């Protein structure tokens, strides 16, 4: 009978479960029942809504703020470290031919831009009106 009274007391007492604990339990249940795809879908929908309502500038601003915070907390060398790790991972996964390919593409784009600039220069820049008004 003592066990029964304990259960009733816990159910009826305020604060038997913290808000954090209740949230965690609820999240675990949703995860079990709906799976990862559910979270991906609601995340995507939320992101699309924010993008539509606030625009690209919002994402640029929060990205800049986040980057400044990380730089202040961890220092500029942190970015060097994660960049190096990322480069090593890409090299391991894709190999040197990947870097050769993107280098070739980048070089081709530079050549195209130079040629475009030369063509524009040959056609002549817009002439300024030198008449006195």
One digit per residue, the tens of pLDDT, for the chain of length 133 reads 444 444 444 455 566 889 999 999 999 999 999 998 999 999 999 999 999 999 989 999 999 999 999 999 999 899 999 999 999 999 999 999 998 999 999 999 999 999 999 999 988 765 555 555 4
Q: What is the pLDDT of residue 12?
A: 54
Instruction: Give how many domains the chain has, as a whole number.
Output: 1
Q: Please, where are the H alpha helices in 55-95?
A: 56-74, 77-94
Does the global pTM surpass 0.85?
Answer: no
Which residue do the tokens 């924010």 mark?
Answer: 50
25 is a domain residue = no
Structural domain including 40 reads 31-75
107 is a domain residue = no
17 is a domain residue = no
Distance (Å, whole) CA 30 – CA 8: 27
Q: What is the pLDDT of residue 2?
A: 45
44 is a domain residue = yes
60 is a domain residue = yes
């Amino acid at each position: 009978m003592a066990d029964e009274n304990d259960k009733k007391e816990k159910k009826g007492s305020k604060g038997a479960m913290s808000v954090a604990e209740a949230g965690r339990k609820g999240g675990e249940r949703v995860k079990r029942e709906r799976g990862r795809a559910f979270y991906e879908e609601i995340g995507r929908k939320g992101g699309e809504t924010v993008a539509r309502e606030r625009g690209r500038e919002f994402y640029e601003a929060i990205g800049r703020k986040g980057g400044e915070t990380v730089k202040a907390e961890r220092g500029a060398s942190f970015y060097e470290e994660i960049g190096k790790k990322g480069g090593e991972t890409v090299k391991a996964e894709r190999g040197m031919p990947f870097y050769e390919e993107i280098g070739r593409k980048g070089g081709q784009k530079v050549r195209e831009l130079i040629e475009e600039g030369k063509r524009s220069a040959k056609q002549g820049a817009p002439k300024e009106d030198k008449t006195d008004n």
